[in-house]
A and B are shown apart, each in its own frame.
Chain A
Amino acid sequence: MRTFVSILRDSFREAVDGFVIYIMLAISVLTIIVVACVGYQPAEAEVHLTKSIKGFAVFIPDKGESKAISAVPGVQYEATSIKVNGKDVLFDLEVTSKLDPGILKAGFPEPFRTAVAGWMKKPYKSEKRKIPPGVLRGGRAGGDTNSDATLKELEIALAPEVSAEEAAAITDDQMIEFIKNQFGAHYGCTDVKVRRRSVPEAGKYIFEIEAINLRGSRGWGHSLSFLHWSLGSAADTPLGLVVHVIEDVLVNGIGGAVLLLISVILTSFFIPNMLRKGTLDLVVSKPVGKVQYLIYKYLGGLIFITLVSTITIGGVWFVIGIRSGMWDPRFLITIPALVLSFALLYSFSTLIAVLTRSAIASMLLTIAFTFGLWLVGYIKKQLDVAKVMGEGDLDGVSNVFDILNNVLPRYKDLDKLTSKVTSEGTYTPILLRFQDMIIEPPSYFGVLGITLAYIGGFLALASWRHATRDG
């Protein structure tokens, strides 16, 4: 352990001595500044609430616990007498059960009460249906899991079965609980005071709502600005979605790719430097195993990148929190995800360095390797789409890429997993369930297992070559 710490400190000294750490920190700071410049302006309550409250027709059965969503036809939600107090919103929620009055009289359960009763139950029936890949998710980045797995079995929840008695037995408290839960499901707003105000009309309910920080919640529409320039007025886009795009596309996607690329370039010098004849002899003659030293050096590079990622991602998380009020820590999963991607690339770079002892060779080949992995993932996705659309006979090519994609480290899938976890930290429960319907996340086991196996394999090969090599 002491040896490890010493070698780590030595690696760190190497990084700090050169320009490496400064470039890394510059990129890190730049990323944080760019994200810090993005502002989030909540939409006007009048406009946004009126529109978005209609979404209450959709609810999550099993008191919000189900994986499915459900809806009962004939219930309408409207917001009136809207008052805004900073981020808090006070208004009347008017619920109209709009079924044909004739049917209502004939003893059919009343829709709103049915919805509340259904919300309290497990989904009545769900059926599995296969949805081909590319159809629902064609537009999304990625999509390159193997073809069997992408035929996702969707769970479609049918309206829970509710009897007239059950509907009639719904109490005011249960209605209030339902409404409160709807604010959580649709806006991610949990601090809501609800009071029912009686009205004489049948099939009409009015709730007095005081929703604390509703305009700051993740489900509330926001528009973006960069410094003081407005970036369009997509005022209906929920804050969580906007933040997720920034986290996923800007930071994990583009920022992560740049960070990885630069890390690969900068760290590609570490191992070849250490393998230089006159340097290696000096250290190897100390009481350190040859392989131990190589692995420690590798881990040193990894810890270095962990540090840089932590600063970058931690900083971005902090400025997003400050600017948007969204502090969900799940975004921080991006740190280990970046480190794992880097671990894969660095293990490859280490192998090439041991084989060639050339920094340039290990740098260029590692970049080529990265690009190759990306390309396989990309082509695979295009072929999957083409297959579903029934375009031409691509079976031969397609099989080749299926196999390639299965045997190569699926490092793009890692992005998708990260994206899924971060979305859980930003999306509203309703949005998450929509996402689950159309995006099949790759399996953790497949992605982590294969990636780790490759890292282990590359390192084992590098160690073996290093151990058996003279000098």
Chain B
Amino acid sequence: MSVIEVKDLYKRYGGIDALRGISLQVEPGQIYGLLGQNGAGKSTMVKILLGIVRITSGDAYLLGHPAGTTEVRKRVGYLPEDHSFPGYHTGESLLHFYGELYGMNRADRVKRIAESLDIVGLAKRGRSKIKTYSKGMKQRLGIAQSFFHDPEVIFLDEPTDGVDPVGRKEIRELLATLKDEGRTIFVNSHLLQEIELMCDRVAIMHKGEIVRTGTVAELTKTVERFSISLAPGTPFPAAEVKALGFNVESDDEETHIELKPGQSIDTVIDHLNAKGFRLRGVRESKQSLEDIFMELVEKAERGSTKRGVRVARAVSQTRRND
């Protein structure tokens, strides 16, 4: 059973289309990243799953239940974006309050709260009022409250917001641990690098639509690119290689070759060897998620009017195939 299943989800806020026919599926035990620009609809997506925002049309299921039911929220943790904790609580008392809402008994709370605060590095400040916390400390508390009650699914909306680099690394490690414990984690971010480092699978969102999904490896490997350098002073035989049907781009030091489907870089290397060129280096240059993202966004911007129709058609086709 999928942990999250969303089909053809639409959300309209007044005149704004925040989600325009989203479909996605998240399997258990993954760290799933939702990547998108500001205003893409990432937070809206998560809020619908938690029942904070109402669905305009479409279906959303969480752990097999329709999104937003009270019971299922017991098994879910959530770190909202721009959260503001009531300043009159201490870190510890806030977690006790939330724990009571989750129906945890006192012994459980005491144990789990101490552990969780320790994990996020707030053990020493647990008894201070939240209004005395720094921004990063509040974020750490936010993360603690998202997992201290042993949820099956954790939603994190911009989890590293306001956290220093060391803290970010700690958060990534924490997420890996939580994943190893068998939890499913859903992360929203506009920080490409974060997603790239944290997530198993990624969905890229743009203006209320999902434009691409896949594992980070798949997404970044969709285009194979190689950078080749020859012995100094030897010009690259670009024309010959192009004649073999390859895409060639050169700069001062290296030549970049983008493979089309069915092509192999071996063809180029064999050719160069046969012609007596002396190779100094061949490197597969992986495209970063950022490159992919930028590309997708640019593409989407260019064909923004047509694209809606195209995506819709693609979705309806896949459905018919089902």
Contact = CB atoms under 8 A, between A and B. Distances in A.
A286 interface: yes
B84 A10 contact: no
A198 interface: no
B93 interface: yes
Nearest to B56: A470
Contacts of B102: 286-287
Contacts of A286: 73, 98, 101-102
Contacts of A280: 52
Interface in A75-100: none
A289 interface: yes
Given A285-B50, A285-B52, A470-B54, A13 B89 contact: yes
A18 interface: yes
B52 A287 contact: no
A14 B88 contact: yes
A281 B47 contact: yes
Interface string A2-13: 110111011001
Interface in B48-97: 50-54, 70-71, 73-74, 76, 78, 80-89, 93, 97
B88 A17 contact: yes
Interface in A3-45: 3, 5-7, 9-10, 13-14, 16-18
Given A14-B86, A289-B70, A471-B47, A283 B54 contact: no
Contact of A471 (B52, B97, B100, B101): B52
A471 to B, nearest CB: 6
A289 B217 CA distance: 41
Interface stretch (A250-258, A271-279, A352-360): A271-279
Nearest to B155: A285
Given A279-B85, A282-B85, A287-B70, A471 B53 contact: yes
B202 to A, nearest CB: 23
B83 A6 contact: no
B103 A281 contact: no
Contacts of A283: 101
A106 B73 CA distance: 95
Given A281-B52, A470-B53, A2 B103 contact: yes
Contacts of A231: none
Interface in B86-124: 86-89, 93, 97-98, 100-103
Contacts of B73: 285-287
Contacts of A3: 100-101
Contacts of A289: 70
A2 B89 CA distance: 19
A321 B117 CA distance: 53
A35 to B, nearest CB: 33
Contact of B97 (A6, A18, A279, A287): A6
Contact of A9 (B47, B50, B97): B97
Given A3-B101, A287-B101, A288-B101, A281 B13 contact: no
Contact of A277 (B13, B82, B87, B89): B82
A153 B100 CA distance: 58
A276 B84 contact: yes
Contacts of A277: 82, 84
Nearest to A6: B100
B83 A282 contact: yes
Nearest to B54: A470
Contacts of A287: 70-71, 73-74, 101-103
Contacts of A9: 97
Contacts of B100: 2-3, 5-6
A10 B100 CA distance: 11
A13 B80 contact: no
A180 B5 CA distance: 85
Contacts of B145: 282
Interface in A267-324: 273, 276-289
Given A285-B50, A286-B73, A279 B84 contact: yes
B78 A285 contact: yes
23 contacts: A2-B100, A3-B100, A7-B101, A9-B97, A10-B86, A13-B88, A17-B88, A273-B86, A276-B84, A278-B82, A278-B84, A279-B83, A279-B84, A281-B52, A281-B78, A282-B80, A282-B85, A287-B70, A287-B101, A288-B70, A470-B47, A470-B53, A471-B53
Interface of B: 13, 47, 50-54, 70-71, 73-74, 76, 78, 80-89, 93, 97-98, 100-103, 129, 145
8 closest A-B pairs by beta carbon, nearest first, are: A17-B88, A278-B84, A6-B100, A281-B80, A285-B78, A286-B101, A278-B83, A287-B73
Given A17-B88, A470-B47, 9 more contacts: A14-B88, A278-B80, A279-B83, A281-B83, A284-B50, A286-B102, A288-B101, A470-B13, A470-B54
